[in-house]
């Protein structure tokens, strides 16, 4: 394991602890108020995600974006080393626990190619670097899709700097309870 990888492992541990302490039920409503600032065009497909218990929850933001005319698609882990697959949720269907305990769509549901991605994270810095969970799924997905990536985070998840490796894909913006910041 390289020094950067060892450092990232320790950073992930600390970031999980910090995020757990920041978890706030009012967050979803706070970021939903900033939906218009994202300037996502009507008809665009938004690659969303279902939040883990202490993750920054985009549920109300997604509802607001759909009300503004966007379409939501959710990620499915197709396998280790592969990019994420995105699917639309048919009416009346719900996401179910899949890989890594993450709520996912079924693979038979309609596939979609997002125009923008909402990205979960453990930490971010002022240059748009993000610290993910270490599986590289969003990095691989962003490398292929080449679409804007908007991190969804508590403001307190910001750190002064993060190490970056060649495969790490930067965020284009971060949305916190305080608003949108572009990089």
Given a contact cutoff of 8 angstroms between Cβ atoms, the answer to whether 31 and 152 are in contact is yes
Burial of 105 (0-12, 13-18, 19+ CB in 10 A): buried
- State residue 143 phi and psi, 5-degree precision: -60, -40
pLDDT at 40: 98
**Over the stretch 53-108, which tens digit does the pLDDT of each residue have?**
999 999 999 999 999 999 999 999 999 999 999 999 999 999 999 988 899 999 99
pLDDT band at 16 (very low <50, low <70, confident <90, very high): very high
Average pLDDT of the residues in 173-182: 98
Q: Which residues 6+ apart lie within 8 Å of 97 measured at CB? A: 103, 104
- pTM for this one? 0.93
Q: What is the pLDDT of residue 43?
A: 98
In this predicted structure, what is the pLDDT of residue 101? Answer: 87
CA distances to 1, 124, 129, 151, 175 from 19, rounded to whole Å, are: 25, 12, 17, 14, 15
The torsion defined by the Cα of 49, 139, 151 and 26, in degrees rounded to 10, comes to 40
147: left (phi over 0), alpha (psi -120 to 50) or beta: beta
| CATH assignment, 3-182 | 3.40.50.10420
Average pLDDT, the chain: 95
Nearest-angstrom CA–CA distance, 49 and 117? 9
Band the pLDDT of 2: cuts 50, 70, 90. low
- Across the range 16-32, mean pLDDT stands at 93
- Provide the pLDDT for residue 4: 65
């Amino acid at each position: 394991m390289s020094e950067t990888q060892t450092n990232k492992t320790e950073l992930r541990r600390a970031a999980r602890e910090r995020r757990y302490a920041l978890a706030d039920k009012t967050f979803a409503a706070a970021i939903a108020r900033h939906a218009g600032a994202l300037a996502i065009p009507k008809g665009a497909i938004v690659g969303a995600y279902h939040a883990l218990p202490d993750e920054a929850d985009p549920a109300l933001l997604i509802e607001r974006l759909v009300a503004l005319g966007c379409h939501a698609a959710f990620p499915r882990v197709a396998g280790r080393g592969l990019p994420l697959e995105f699917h639309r949720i048919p009416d009346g269907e719900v996401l179910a626990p899949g890989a890594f305990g993450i709520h996912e769509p079924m693979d038979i549901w309609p596939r979609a190619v997002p125009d923008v991605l909402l990205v979960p994270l453990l930490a971010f810095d002022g240059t748009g670097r993000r610290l993910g969970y270490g599986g590289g799924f969003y990095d691989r997905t962003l490398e292929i899709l080449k679409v804007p990536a908007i991190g969804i985070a508590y403001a307190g998840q910001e750190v002064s700097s993060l190490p970056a490796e060649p495969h790490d894909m930067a965020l284009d913006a971060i949305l916190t309870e305080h608003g949108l910041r572009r990089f």
